[in-house]
Structure 1
Amino acid sequence: MIVSALLTSVGINLGLCVLFFALYSVLRKQPCNLKVYAPRLVAEGRAGQRSHFNIEALLPSAGWVRRAWQPSEDELLNSCGLDGVVFNRIFIFSLRVFSVAAIIGIFVLLPVNYLGDHLRDIDFSDLPNKSLDLFTISNVKDSSNWLWVHFSAAYFITGVVCYLLYAEYKYISNKRISHFSSSKPQPHHFTILVRDIPLHGMSSLSNTVETFFMDYHPSDYLASTVVRRTSKLRGLITDTENLYRRITHLKSIPSSSQNQSHTGFLGLFRKNGDLMGHYAKKLEDLEQNVRLEQSDISAGREEVRAAFVCFRSRYGAAKALHIRQSTNPTEWVTEHAPEPHDVYWPFFSTSFTQRWISKSVVVAASVLLIVLFLLVVAFVQGLTYLEQLEALLPFLKNILKIAVVSQIVTGYLPSLLLHLVASLVPPIMKLFSAMQGYIAISEIEKSACNKMLLFTIWFLFFANVLTGSVTSQFQIFLDPKTIPERLAVAVPAQASFFIAYVVTSWTSLSWELNRTIAFIGDLISRRCSKTNDDEFQIPSIPYYSEIPRVLLFGLLGFTYFLLAPLILPFILVFFCIGYIIYRNQLLNVYQPKYDTGGRFWPIVHNTTIFSLVLMQIIAVGIFGLKKLPLASSLILPLPALTLLFNDYCRKRFLPIFHDFAAETLIKKDREDQNDPAMEEFFDKLVTAYRDPALMPIRHSTNSNDHNSPLLSKV
């Protein structure tokens, strides 16, 4: 790619960003769009309605930036939970790291790279037509002493990153402990999940669980709730809810319209009045089936060999969790209980055999997805080389000779296509994780996050590097000794592609801000539906897709810090834009669906360490290729030191993210001993883990209040 193609891509994306920001600042002021751009504020009753027309509502403004910037971290914690704070800290950490990296890269490494060409005279007047390779380390002469500048920069940035990583890990660990210590009693702090409960003759599972824990945990045991299969019941409830919504919609149609005939082909359509009676009768039948199914399940049928066991203290629950309950390790298996609203109930309807089959299917499907994505990557990378594209599609030869077209095709189109294809992957990964049998939505999303990281790192990054440069290097990892050298050749060759990819990501961030799909969906529903339904779903932030997306740019920044420092200011701009946009979305749009207590941070830490080590391994190969063996040898201790640092952090901080210490638990239990509200809490704890599908439902088909909740729990 030449400089002018990069400038074309920057111009296009900057223009789109400004356009989207201006459009957002106008659309968010319109009262009809509040449910799209501030659904959380609407649900909480904090969205102000304008009572009169104001010309300022039609003019772009930057007031939303100030409002997103102002809230403190404590306010963000109260509003979004510790997971929201951790997500915000990823941007803060990245801004700190890449501010330092950009200063070194632009003012130190970039001049060294550009002035290190074999040619003595450089024509600055023709700079737009120069290749971006002039700004990479490939332009530095072999055996040049200027390469020691890169060597020093590698050690310096490693020290800065490790220092900031340690400080951030310590800060978030302390935040997690203080958040727990200041929190009110939560059901999952007093509860564990017990699986593989052994069967004893004719005794029910409920009696078996109660007898066991009364015998071995008499002073701590409070109650238990055996899990039951409710998949069939959930299907009936879904049908009931859908039918009730249809009846509600028919009620909203004026009576004059209801009396009109709606006959059609073969009489398939009826009058609305006939439909109302038909639906009402069908709803009564479905409700009766729901009650019968609930009675059968509550009578002890469809029991699963799993139960939520509640204790009178946090320390009592921790003891039962970590002590093996039986001489047979495959029985009475204990694990953390999620928050009640975080439980993924369909998991319990899956048998061991079904879970095993599902895992096998997930593996096969993942392999198929990888193969398909590699084909897409090969096609996308072909767009960056006009010669290959002209050979593949000869009829485009004349069109591609046009300067603007060739710049757009090579500088903008490939990264845009990759963004679009990559956006299809997160829902698939979440589906794969759900099939694996996790007991909590948060666990499903953490698993999907790890899958997305593997997909992002190994295939979005490495597949582009290897496919675009040397396709025969798919065997790169078969001979570990050649890894640094081969990566040193392959990675710099794709610098221009990833620079364009980072620039294109600015537009994808503005797409997140404008919530384009949600806006179009709301617009269509308002135009097509005559109902004034105040019920709407508040979205939750998909950490499983957004965290890997952010970490990818950290990987690119570290990888190309030495190789192509021109990428660093573009990455810094990405983090600046992302910081403001995601703070705005967390405060106004997304509502937390769960709170893991900051357990996503170890994923961030490990990915950063991986990115740092990858940079160091490539540096070893680069110095070897540049015929500077001493620098290549002296850089070897750096990965070892980084991994030692990571091992220390794992031992120092990681246990805090798995379990709370006895000191913390006992101290918290003692604080609650004299609290009169604890008795009421324990009364609610007994039924906290009851399957929502077993709760009574009531649909009022005669009510004219269409804004009342669909389900009334009694």
Structure 2
Amino acid sequence: MSIVSGATIIVFNILRPRNKIIYEPKVKYHVGDKKPPRISDSIFGWISPLIHTKEPMLIDKIGLDAAMFLRFLRMMRWLFTAVAFLTCAVLMPVNVTYNLKNVKSKDRDVLSFLTIRDVQGNILFVHIAMTYVICAVVLAFIWLNWRKAVQLRNEWFRSPEYVQSFYARTLMVNEVPKKLQSDEGLRAIFQSVQVPYPTTSVHIGHRVGKLPELIEFHNETVKELEDVLVEYLKDGRIGKKRPVKRIGGFMCFGGNKVDAIDYYTAKLQRTERAVEEYRSQIDMNKPENYGFASMAAVPYAHIVANILRDKRLKGAYVTLAPNPKDIIWDNLNQSKAEMVRKKAVGWAFLCLVCFFNTVPLFIISILANLASLTSFVPFLQSWSNASPGSFTFISGVLPPAVSALFGFFLPVLMRWLSQYQGALTHSRLDRAVVARYYAFLVISQLVVFTLIGVMFNCVKEIVTQIGEHKSIQEILQNIDKLTGTIPRTYVDQASYWLTYYPLRGFLVLFDLAQVINVVWVTVKKHLWGRTPREIREWTQPPDFQYAIYYSNILFMGTVGLVFAPLAPLVAVAGAVVFWVSSVVYKYQLMFVFVSRVETGGRLWNVVMNRLLAAVMLMQALMVVTIGLQQSLKPWYWVSTVPPLLIVLGFKIYCARAFNPAFNYYIPSQEELRAAQIYSNDNARNRLEKRFGHPALHQELFTPMVHANMTHLLAEVFKGKIGSAQTKLDEYGGTKIDAHVVAGGIKIAGIEEVGCLCCSLVFKLTYPV
């Protein structure tokens, strides 16, 4: 894995200077003055910006969500560096000394020599003491970074970007009773309770019916027309034959052939008229069970939301409004009964997935124990003797590879289930995915996987005893001793996790190299259409999947903490991967990925709670290890319990000390007096325009072709060709010259100014 990882880095250093639109898309597509630092074309030119760009500049350039993620990675790398140093310096000498004195050489191997597996007696109190030290180190790191996270979030609350945003001073009202589903009803809800600040405007949501589907149908028609036009006018020349489309028929047989350009043009005219007609009637639609209320200032909204956070106002509940781009509008109008039904179905399906996940876990468990099966499977014994190198490679690399393959689809499934169950925002969806995916990983990969290993070892022991011709009575008498195999199984599986970490490290570096992306974009360039819209979709910075990355890092941290007092080498492997991840993801977030919607690091408290749960899991396993140690008196395990209570108390302390200031803008009296006041929201219908359903006001797609094709439009379309300006939402509302063809359809020409690798760069850059 080290060789493959090194080769991946070499490939990245070779490809990066020649493929900037893939490896540095944010240099071209950036918002305002948030352009990434300059990066040279030299092979290692990307390293200098990573070293010299510190957190304050990161917050300004990539946002607080990304900066908090990098802070979490820095915390994990230094935390595991400390844990690895302590455990290796203290526990390894103890384990080695005990094994040399008390364990026969034939009963130990290179790895068990360094672990707690065969250690017994009072010397285990050294390991117990080390769990206290690890617990203290983790809590110290969490406390220091929690304080800094609260400080950063408070600065974000007071930043011009947040204070001047409209959603920051808006409240969202959900589950509005039917009789109050109107603007007057919303006002009555707020008037029913004593709050220090009144609303400046209210707006109840209205049903949009099939309008979103109509708009989607219109936009797909635009894409189809663009594909036909770009193919027909390829290289700035008109094709020999006008494109045709088959209407009706089956599998390219039957039906009628029609002119494709005329067909899509007429279809586009019909959909535009349908959308306009539907929008003109939207006020007649019934109201929804949600609404919004704006306040005169940002501090006022936070104060009111904080006061009402645990209260029901005539059946409705009030929260801070999210950024409109963050809202999952399809879930916002669901009734309470529908939400309950979907949650029940979602949990049932999730349990079903967990149940069937035991199949790949069983496969992974068998692969992880190939070496112990050689005594029972002649083929494996022959293979091991004939080619020990390939046998070791397969038994070491294949289990984590199979685990990674099955784990690739789980986050996608978790996200779909969470959205189906009614998550109202993408940020809340991320929090749900972190919680569920992390729990799923821990339960399946650590708990169930180990239990399968225990059962596997039990069967192996029974088969061995049968081979020794022991009676059934003797075998049954030894069953109670098999409980001691639980901690032993955990320790034996340290070898599996020592192969898991190198694989995760390689995947991190493979993510940096983006070899698949380079190949895929090249294939798309030569095999499929290259409309301006497609080129922009291929080359714009992708969204960073915080929920998945956080969950995977948390799981790696949990594994490292659980095994730190048992097998210190696992903590060392974890520290190495966290250092690699910290460097790689800093580059990715600075130059490649963007945040879908800025939430100000809202995932931080969810992640910290899971890290505390990892510490408790580490301690719980130590309780089991000591409790099942037959050489110790039964009450000795009590000495392992206090850290559990300490972590639980620390969690309560964090919730009380940090959560209020983290979740809400708590202004001082001076800040209240100096707050910027807005009082004319009603006059300009700002609330309705900003928090109405996007389908009510979003611009429809405008057909686009390359600029060198626009002079041929007069030959393509019959009739007079006019000129006008059109606003392109795809480019942040930028206005551009367009040609008006038959039926009043506008077609914009997009000028290309250069080519970087496989992808074209537009003259229109990312909107300011």
The correspondence for 2:365, drawn from 381, 401, 407, is: 381
Contact map agreement 2:223 2:703 (CA 8 A) in 1: no
The answer on 1:591 being equivalent to 2:594 is: yes
Distance 2:265 2:615 in 1: 63
Contact map agreement 2:431 2:603 (CA 8 A) in 1: yes
Q: How does 1:482-631 map to 2 (within 5 A)?
A: 488-531=487-530, 533=532, 534-536=535-537, 537-624=540-627, 625=629, 627-629=631-633
The answer on 1:28 being equivalent to 2:8 is: no
The correspondence for 1:70, drawn from 49, 52, 55, is: 52
Cα distance, 1:219–1:88 mapped onto 2, change above 3 Å: closer
Cα distance, 1:679–1:194 mapped onto 2, change above 3 Å: closer
The equivalent of 2:468 in structure 1 is none
The answer on 1:163 being equivalent to 2:145 is: no
Contact map agreement 2:192 2:313 (CA 8 A) in 1: no
For residues 94-114 of structure 1, give each alpha carbon's deviation from its aligned partner in whole angstroms, at most 9, with x where no partner exists. Answer: 122211111122232122212
The equivalent of 1:687 in structure 2 is 689
Q: Please state how far the C-alpha of 1:144 moved relative to its aligned partner.
A: 5.0
The equivalent of 1:638 in structure 2 is 643
The equivalent of 1:192 in structure 2 is 171
Q: Please state how far the C-alpha of 1:621 moved relative to its aligned partner.
A: 3.3
The equivalent of 1:353 in structure 2 is 337
Distance 1:211 1:287 in 2: 39
Contact map agreement 2:442 2:555 (CA 8 A) in 1: yes
Distance 1:638 1:483 in 2: 28
SS of 1:246's equivalent in the other structure is helix
The equivalent of 2:753 in structure 1 is none
For residues 361-413 of structure 1, give each alpha carbon's deviation from its aligned partner in whole angstroms, at most 9, with x where no partner exists. Answer: 21111011101211101111101222676799876664454212210121111
Cα distance, 1:528–1:302 mapped onto 2, change above 3 Å: farther
Deviates more, 1:15-24 or 1:215-224: 215-224
The correspondence for 2:23, drawn from 23, 37, 42, is: 37
The answer on 1:300 being equivalent to 2:287 is: no
The equivalent of 2:224 in structure 1 is 246
Contact map agreement 2:169 2:297 (CA 8 A) in 1: yes
Q: Please state how far the C-alpha of 1:22 moved relative to its aligned partner.
A: 1.3
For residues 582-602 of structure 1, give each alpha carbon's deviation from its aligned partner in whole angstroms, at most 9, with x where no partner exists. Answer: 101111111122233222222
Deviates more, 1:619-628 or 1:549-558: 619-628
Cα distance, 1:699–1:599 mapped onto 2, change above 3 Å: closer
Cα distance, 1:106–1:535 mapped onto 2, change above 3 Å: same
Q: Please state how far the C-alpha of 1:228 moved relative to its aligned partner.
A: 2.7
Cα distance, 1:112–1:308 mapped onto 2, change above 3 Å: same
Q: Please state how far the C-alpha of 1:622 moved relative to its aligned partner.
A: 2.9
The correspondence for 1:222, drawn from 197, 200, 204, is: 200
SS of 2:94's equivalent in the other structure is helix
Contact map agreement 1:598 1:657 (CA 8 A) in 2: no
Distance 1:608 1:263 in 2: 57
Q: How many residues align?
A: 672
The equivalent of 2:126 in structure 1 is 149
For residues 238-279 of structure 1, give each alpha carbon's deviation from its aligned partner in whole angstroms, at most 9, with x where no partner exists. Answer: 1111111121222223254252676995466857xx101100
Cα distance, 1:685–1:366 mapped onto 2, change above 3 Å: same
Q: Please state how far the C-alpha of 1:231 moved relative to its aligned partner.
A: 5.6
Distance 2:430 2:516 in 1: 22
TM-score by length of 2: 0.79
Cα distance, 1:198–1:637 mapped onto 2, change above 3 Å: closer
Q: How does 1:283-322 map to 2 (within 5 A)?
A: 283-297=268-282, 299-318=283-302, 320-322=304-306
Is there any run of 5+ residues in structure 1 with no aligned partner, and where? Answer: 1-12, 51-55, 474-481
Distance 2:204 2:501 in 1: 50
SS of 1:305's equivalent in the other structure is strand
For residues 628-661 of structure 1, give each alpha carbon's deviation from its aligned partner in whole angstroms, at most 9, with x where no partner exists. Answer: 4476333332222222222222221122233233
Deviates more, 1:317-326 or 1:241-250: 317-326
Cα distance, 1:138–1:28 mapped onto 2, change above 3 Å: same
Cα distance, 1:121–1:340 mapped onto 2, change above 3 Å: closer
Cα distance, 1:213–1:650 mapped onto 2, change above 3 Å: closer
Q: Please state how far the C-alpha of 1:691 moved relative to its aligned partner.
A: 1.8
The answer on 1:282 being equivalent to 2:284 is: no
Q: Please state how far the C-alpha of 1:195 moved relative to its aligned partner.
A: 2.2
Amino acid at match of 1:97: L
Q: Please state how far the C-alpha of 1:455 moved relative to its aligned partner.
A: 0.7
Q: Please state how far the C-alpha of 1:320 moved relative to its aligned partner.
A: 4.2
Distance 2:63 2:482 in 1: 42
Distance 1:325 1:568 in 2: 41
Amino acid at match of 1:535: R
Q: CA RMSD in A?
A: 3.6
The answer on 1:342 being equivalent to 2:326 is: yes
Cα distance, 1:544–1:483 mapped onto 2, change above 3 Å: farther
SS of 1:138's equivalent in the other structure is coil
Q: How does 1:103-122 map to 2 (within 5 A)?
A: 103-117=85-99
Distance 1:166 1:699 in 2: 49
Q: Percent identity, please.
A: 20
Distance 2:551 2:350 in 1: 17
Distance 1:550 1:681 in 2: 49
Distance 2:500 2:275 in 1: 52
Q: Please state how far the C-alpha of 1:73 moved relative to its aligned partner.
A: 0.2
SS of 1:139's equivalent in the other structure is coil
Amino acid at match of 1:586: L
Distance 1:639 1:314 in 2: 40
For residues 111-140 of structure 1, give each alpha carbon's deviation from its aligned partner in whole angstroms, at most 9, with x where no partner exists. Answer: 2212322667988xx99x935222211132
Q: Please state how far the C-alpha of 1:67 moved relative to its aligned partner.
A: 2.0
SS of 1:63's equivalent in the other structure is coil
Amino acid at match of 2:646: L
Cα distance, 1:269–1:85 mapped onto 2, change above 3 Å: farther
The equivalent of 1:479 in structure 2 is none
Distance 1:528 1:708 in 2: 30
The correspondence for 2:453, drawn from 445, 468, 474, is: 468
Cα distance, 1:80–1:393 mapped onto 2, change above 3 Å: farther
Amino acid at match of 1:352: K
SS of 2:200's equivalent in the other structure is strand
Q: How does 1:427-438 map to 2 (within 5 A)?
A: 427-438=412-423
The equivalent of 2:150 in structure 1 is 173
SS of 1:499's equivalent in the other structure is helix
The correspondence for 1:81, drawn from 63, 67, 73, is: 63
Contact map agreement 2:454 2:486 (CA 8 A) in 1: no
Deviates more, 1:303-312 or 1:486-495: 486-495
The equivalent of 1:8 in structure 2 is none
The equivalent of 2:478 in structure 1 is none
The equivalent of 2:660 in structure 1 is 655
Q: Please state how far the C-alpha of 1:696 moved relative to its aligned partner.
A: 5.5
SS of 2:368's equivalent in the other structure is coil
Cα distance, 1:107–1:623 mapped onto 2, change above 3 Å: same
Cα distance, 1:249–1:261 mapped onto 2, change above 3 Å: closer
Normalized per residue, the structure richer in strand is 2
Is there any run of 5+ residues in structure 2 with no aligned partner, and where? Answer: 247-251, 459-480, 711-725, 736-768
